[in-house]
Structures are given as structure tokens and as C-alpha cells.
């Protein structure tokens, strides 16, 4: 079981930052993918909304802290 001092250790913080960065890149990639798909379809609105959700999620990733989970 982790103690409160272990939760905020340097190693934990590096892992937390890496996980957030990976999730942010994933959301950014999905947003780009949805925009490209929206340009190739006759009904782009749903894909444009999906891209906006992914963009917003990518922006919100960096506001999370370990205390949020």
C-alpha cells in the first residue's frame, strides 16, 4: 500500500506526467484523424464534433492532478 509521501515522489510524478502526455498525444492524433475523415465524407458535421471533443480532451489533460483520481 502506498503512503501519502510515496504518492508524490519524483518517480511517481515522472510517470504521471508521461501518462498525461501520452493521453494528450492520443487525443490530438484522434482529432487530426477525425478532421481528415470529415474532409472525405459527405456528412462531416459528426466527425467535426468528434474532433472538437478530442481537442478539448487534449487541452484538459494537462489540468489533471493525481488528486483528481
Please state the domain extents for the chain. Answer: 26-64
pTM of the model: 0.78
Residue 5 confidence (pLDDT): 56
Over residues 12-61, the pLDDT tens digits come to 999 999 999 999 999 999 999 999 999 998 889 999 999 999 999 999 98
User: 20 and 64 in contact (C-beta within 8 Å)?
Assistant: yes
Residues 50, 53, 57, 58, CA torsion sign: positive
- Helix 10-39 to helix 45-61 angle (10° resolution) is 170
Q: How far is Cα 48 from Cα 10, in angstroms, rounded to an integer? A: 39
Q: How far is Cα 51 from Cα 58, in angstroms, rounded to an integer? A: 11
Amino acid at each position: 500500500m502506498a503512503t501519502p509521501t510515496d504518492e508524490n515522489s519524483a518517480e511517481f510524478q515522472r510517470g504521471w506526467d508521461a501518462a498525461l502526455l501520452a493521453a494528450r498525444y492520443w487525443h490530438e492524433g484522434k482529432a487530426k484523424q477525425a478532421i481528415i475523415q470529415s474532409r472525405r465524407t459527405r456528412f462531416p458535421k459528426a466527425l467535426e464534433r468528434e474532433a472538437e471533443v478530442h481537442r478539448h480532451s487534449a487541452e484538459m489533460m494537462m489540468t489533471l492532478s493525481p488528486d483528481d483520481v
